[in-house]
C-alpha cells in the first residue's frame, strides 16, 4: 500500500480508502447497494487492515446509521487500535421525520455528530464531511459549527462532498478570515468515464491544496468489466437496477474498449485498470472502494501495484477526454503570450 497526505495536513492516509456503503442494506436505495452483515463486515475490514488500508469512510445516512454501527463494531471485534485507523464520516442527510432532522445548520450538525460518535463507538471522528449542499443554511453558520467541533475535539479535520467549486472557495475564504478550521478534502465523483470535475473543481483543489477523495471510481459498476457496448444491462449487476451516477454512456463504451486490451496484456481486470488510472492522477489523494465480497476487495487492492505506461495513459486520455466547453477553450488561448509575443490565433484562422 502507498500513502499520501490528507489535503494540506500532516496526516497520512492509504491511497485506497474502504467505503462501507455496502454494510447494512436497510431498505430504500441501499438494498440495491449491499447487505453485508456483521460477519461479512468483520471479514472485509480485516482484509483491508491486512492489505495496508488505514482509511475508512462511512456516513450517517448509509442504511439509516447501520453502516456506522457495523464499522464501529468491526473495529471492536477485530481489536483494531483506534490510533491505527483514520475514520471518516459525513453529516447533513435526513435522519428523522422532524423539520430539522436534515441539513448543514448548527442545530442539525451538532446532533448528527453526537449520534455518529455513538454509533461508531469512538470519541472522535478524524474527518467529518458535509455530505451535500444546504440551500437554506448560511455557509458562515456551517463553518462556525464545524470549527466548534474541531475545538471540542470531537472532529480532527473537516471536508465537504458534492459542493460546487465556488461554494468551497467561499467557505474556505470565510475560514481564513475568521480563523476557523478549513475544508481539507473534497469527496467527489470521479472516474475515467466521468471527468467532469476537471473543469472547475480540480483547479480549485490544486490551488488550495485540497485532497480529493473519489467516490464511485467504477461509475457505479459500469467499469467493473461486466458492462460493454453489446451488454449494457447484465443480469445481477447493481448498475442494472440502480443507474447511478449519471454517465455519458457512448463515451463510457469507448473508454471500456480502450481499457480492454490493456487489461488483457496485463492479465488483470478492467476494474483494476480504471482504479490505476485514477491513482495516476496527481490531484487524487485516495480512491474509495467498496465491496460486498472478499474477492472484489482483493482485486481492488491489487490496483495500487499497477503502474500504467505513458502510452497506455495517452490511449486512455484520448478515449475519455471531455468535450471542450467555454470558458475552457478561451482560457487555453488567453495568457499564452505572457512570456513573449505569440500569434494567439495561429491555426485558428484561414
**Ramachandran angles phi, psi of 17, nearest 5°:** -115, 140
* Cβ neighbour number for residue 9 with a 10 Å cutoff: 15
- Which residues partner with 338 through β-bridges? none
Can you give the C-alpha Rg of the chain in angstroms? 21
- Chain centroid to CA 132: 13
Give the C-alpha separation, 68 to 116, whole Å.
Answer: 7
Q: What is the largest CA-CA distance in the chain?
A: 71
Give the C-alpha separation, 202 to 214, whole Å.
Answer: 12
Residue 125, C-beta contacts closer than 8 angstroms, at least 6 positions apart: 87, 88, 89, 113, 116, 117, 154, 155, 156
- Chain centroid to CA 38: 24
Give the C-alpha separation, 59 to 64, whole Å.
Answer: 9
Residue 62 among the catalytic residues: yes
Grid coordinates belonging to 96:
428523522
Listing DSSP states for 267-291 in one string gives TS-HHHHHHHHHHTSTTEEEEEE--
Give the C-alpha separation, 144 to 133, whole Å.
Answer: 16
Give the C-alpha separation, 179 to 54, whole Å.
Answer: 30
* Cβ neighbour number for residue 29 with a 10 Å cutoff: 11
Question: Of 30, 62, 92, 128, which one is the catalytic site residue?
Answer: 62
User: Which has the closest alpha carbon to 275: 265, 295, 290, 253?
Assistant: 290
Task: Tell me if 131 sits within 8 A of 83, measured CB to CB.
Answer: no
Give the C-alpha separation, 320 to 339, whole Å.
Answer: 32
- Which residues partner with 88 through β-bridges? 57, 127
Active site residues: 62
Amino acid at each position: 500500500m502507498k500513502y499520501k497526505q490528507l489535503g494540506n495536513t500532516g496526516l497520512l492516509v492509504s491511497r485506497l480508502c474502504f467505503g462501507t456503503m455496502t454494510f447494512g442494506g436497510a431498505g430504500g436505495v441501499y438494498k440495491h447497494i449491499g447487505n453485508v452483515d456483521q460477519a461479512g463486515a468483520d471479514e472485509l475490514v480485516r482484509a483491508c487492515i491486512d492489505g495496508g488500508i488505514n482509511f475508512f469512510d462511512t456516513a450517517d445516512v448509509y442504511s439509516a446509521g447501520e453502516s456506522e454501527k457495523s464499522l464501529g463494531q468491526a473495529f471492536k471485534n477485530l481489536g483494531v487500535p483506534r490510533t491505527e485507523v483514520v475514520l471518516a464520516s459525513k453529516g447533513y442527510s435526513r435522519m428523522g421525520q422532524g423539520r430539522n432532522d436534515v441539513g448543514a445548520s448548527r442545530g442539525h450538525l451538532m446532533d448528527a455528530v453526537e449520534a455518529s460518535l455513538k454509533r461508531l463507538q469512538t470519541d472522535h471522528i478524524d474527518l467529518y464531511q458535509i455530505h451535500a449542499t444546504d440551500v437554506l443554511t448560511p455557509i458562515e453558520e456551517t463553518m462556525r459549527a464545524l470549527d466548534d467541533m474541531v475545538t471540542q475535539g470531537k472532529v480532527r479535520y473537516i471536508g465537504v462532498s458534492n459542493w460546487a467549486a465556488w461554494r468551497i472557495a467561499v467557505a474556505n475564504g470565510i475560514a481564513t478570515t475568521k480563523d476557523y478550521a478549513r475544508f481539507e478534502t473534497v469527496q467527489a465523483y470521479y472516474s475515467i468515464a466521468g471527468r467532469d470535475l476537471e473543469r472547475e473543481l480540480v483547479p480549485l483543489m490544486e490551488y488550495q491544496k485540497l485532497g480529493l477523495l473519489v467516490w464511485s471510481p467504477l461509475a457505479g459498476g459500469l467499469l467493473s468489466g461486466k458492462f460493454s457496448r453489446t451488454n449494457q444491462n447484465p443480469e445481477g449487476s447493481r448498475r442494472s437496477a440502480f443507474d447511478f451516477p449519471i454517465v455519458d454512456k457512448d463515451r463510457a463504451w469507448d473508454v471500456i474498449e480502450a481499457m480492454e486490451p490493456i487489461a488483457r496484456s496485463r492479465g488483470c481486470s478492467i476494474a483494476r485498470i480504471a482504479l490505476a488510472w485514477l491513482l495516476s492522477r496527481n490531484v487524487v489523494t485516495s480512491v474509495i472502494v467498496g465491496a460486498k465480497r472478499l474477492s472484489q476487495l482483493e482485486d481492488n487492492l491489487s490496483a495500487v501495484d499497477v503502474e500504467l505506461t505513458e502510452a497506455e495513459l495517452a490511449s486512455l486520455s484520448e478515449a475519455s477526454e471531455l468535450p471542450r466547453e467555454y470558458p475552457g477553450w478561451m482560457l487555453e488561448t488567453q495568457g499564452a503570450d505572457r512570456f513573449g509575443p505569440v500569434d494567439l490565433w495561429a491555426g485558428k484562422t484561414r
